[in-house]
Chain A
């Protein structure tokens, strides 16, 4: 039943295009339910995280990407993310990290409210769509126990 409601929600979200108004519930510091009602894809998630125009993650973070020469150091290493957080905690940290730390510099990837002067082509749009967020979460859940030296 829950699954059906979530799936319906995802269809509605899809119709709304960019909108991220109807989010799954937040419990403590986690968003346990998938935005799409379906699990994400690890390989697609990895590609999104590595892409500097799509995920932008490596501008700030480093991670297990030996092929990517220039990785940022404004933020913690993504290695071992799944050791530190549950799937729901990781999802909320992508959807809207300001829910956990109001001062965070990490962008909210699935939120459109509260932003100023958004550049034309991006106005009213989330940085990633629901499916992409789930792909990124699936990829982060694959990052276990290999902290880079």
Chain B
């Protein structure tokens, strides 16, 4: 009898796991922010990440490395040639047979084409270039239709739904099953990658999507994957597939 009651209570308290958010209900996490933050994100003059875009725009033209070439020497005006690029990254790289996110692709161009050194993750220069390239996709829908991404998407989905850390949570528990709810003071977002890199008030700086993933893992008391790892890139690839069709917003602002 006791056992039956416990069972009934448990079933009442916990709705069956919801699974992936239906496509029609997927929407930008910008919409759950205060109107002040949304206005700050939308207005280039107020958006603190605009400095990062300007850093990137300047670096785009700086000749460097053994080639003595700048990004612009190969790609021309970024505002034209980089339009839509960030909306389809991470992408499959035929040369290496790997899936690369935007930061990894930028570093591949630096080391293999420009003949300069790879930029450290989260460095001002790498965030600048990624934010500048990302800005050229603002308003364009995420595209995730390359079948060669399937293994990375599947791996990312498996990592997203796996329980981990001392708190034994999964990304999906929060972001698929409880989005819109209050986790303490924070509204749990759907976790779309549309606005990255972005300026986060809590960080007092611009940061990448991987930095955000790292924060969530530390919050679960799970050992984060190394920055730039295939695991993080797989999660990013899955998030882009999960957010396909949503408009890019880089550079975003978050609380």
Contact = CB atoms under 8 A, between A and B. Distances in A.
B184 A58 contact: yes
Contacts, number: 88
Interface stretch (B30-38, B130-138, B165-173, B193-201): B165-173
Interface magnitude class on chain A: 35 or more
A125 B166 contact: yes
Nearest to B178: A74
Interface string B70-87: 000000000000000000
B183 A60 contact: yes
B181 A73 contact: yes
Please classify the interface of chain B as helix (H, G, I), strand (E, B), loop, or mixed, using the class held by over half of its residues.
loop
Interface stretch (A37-45, A116-124, A140-148): A116-124
Contact of B10 (A70, A84, A104, A127): A104
B164 interface: yes
Contacts of B162: 116
Interface residues of B, number: 31
Given A107-B167, A117-B223, A118-B166, A72 B182 contact: yes
Nearest to B6: A29
Given A60-B183, A117-B223, A119-B223, A76 B166 contact: no
Nearest to B2: A28
B29 to A, nearest CB: 17
A118 B168 CA distance: 9
A116 B14 contact: no
Given A28-B3, A28-B6, A119 B182 contact: no
Contacts of B223: 117-120
Contact of B163 (A29, A52, A116): A116
B158 to A, nearest CB: 12
A100 interface: yes
B24 interface: no
A75 B183 CA distance: 10
B109 interface: no
B218 interface: yes
Given A105-B173, A119-B221, A120-B223, A70 B165 contact: no
Q: 3 nearest interchain CB pairs?
A: A70-B185, A101-B10, A29-B6
